Amino acid sequence: MKAFIGVALLAAVSIANATTNGENVIYVGSGAAESGPIATTSNKSPFTIGYLNLSNTRDFVWGLDVSGEGTKLDSTWGQTNVAKQANSFNFLFGKNIGKTENSRYDASLIAGFRHKTSSCPSSYLGYQCYANSEPKTTYAFNYGVAVTWSYKSVMLGVRATGESKQALVGIRF
C-alpha cells in the first residue's frame, strides 16, 4: 500500500502545474492502526478511499469515504472471535479555513459507522452460517477529523479517527 501511495503522490505532483481548480477530489490514504491487545487487533494496515467536494464559491466542504480500519471479531465459518480488519463508512462535513489564489486549507469532521462483530451458529455443511443464513453483524460509531491542503490539482492531508491515523493524497478535478 505504501508503494501505491508513493506512485499516487508522484502522479499528483506531476499534474500539479495544471491550472484547473475543480471542486471534486478523489483521494486515497494509508497509515497506522490504533494499538491494542494482539489477540483482538487486526494486523492489516488501514486504508481509505474517498471523495470530497470543495466549493470555490462557498466555505462548506462535504464528502464520503470507505475505510478498512479497526477490528471486527468474526465468528463465522466455524471460527471463534477471529480478529479481522473492519470496514467503516463515513460522511465528512467541514469548512474552508484558508484560501489563496492557488491553494486552500480545509478541516472536516468525520462521522460514520464501522463493523464490530459478525457471528452466527456454525454450519456443518461448509456454509458461512447454519442453513446458509446471513451472519448477525453489529456496528459501532466511527468518528474523527480530517485536515487537507489543496494546491492547484493536488490534495494532501491527514485523517485521524478513533481507529487509525492516515496520510491522504488526492487529485482535484
What is the overall mean pLDDT for the chain? 81
pLDDT number for residue 127: 64
C-beta separation of 95 from 106 below 8 A: yes
The pLDDT tens digits of the residues spanning 139-153 come to 999 999 999 999 989
The CB density around residue 31, as the number of other CB atoms within 10 Å, is 20
The total domain count for the chain is 1
pLDDT at 18 over 50: no
- Parallel, antiparallel or unpaired: strands 60-75 and 103-119: parallel
Q: Average pLDDT in the 107-131 region?
A: 80
Higher pLDDT, 91 or 76: 91
Task: Name the residue range of residue 48's domain.
Answer: 2-172
C-alpha cell at 163: 481507529
Condensed to tens digits (0 to 9), the pLDDT of residues 153-170 reads: 999 999 999 999 999 999
Residue given cell 477490528 in the structure block: 71
Tens-place pLDDT, residues 95-116: 999 998 889 999 999 999 998 8
CA angle, corner 25, sides to 21 and 63, nearest 5? 125
Mean of pLDDT values over 85-99: 94
Residue 65 maps to which CATH number?
2.40.160
Q: What are the backbone angles phi and psi of residue 14, rounded to the nearest 5°? A: -65, -25
Spatial separation of the C-alpha atoms in residues 71 and 90, rounded to whole Å? 16
More confident residue, 152 or 128: 152
**pLDDT at 118 (0 to 100):** 81
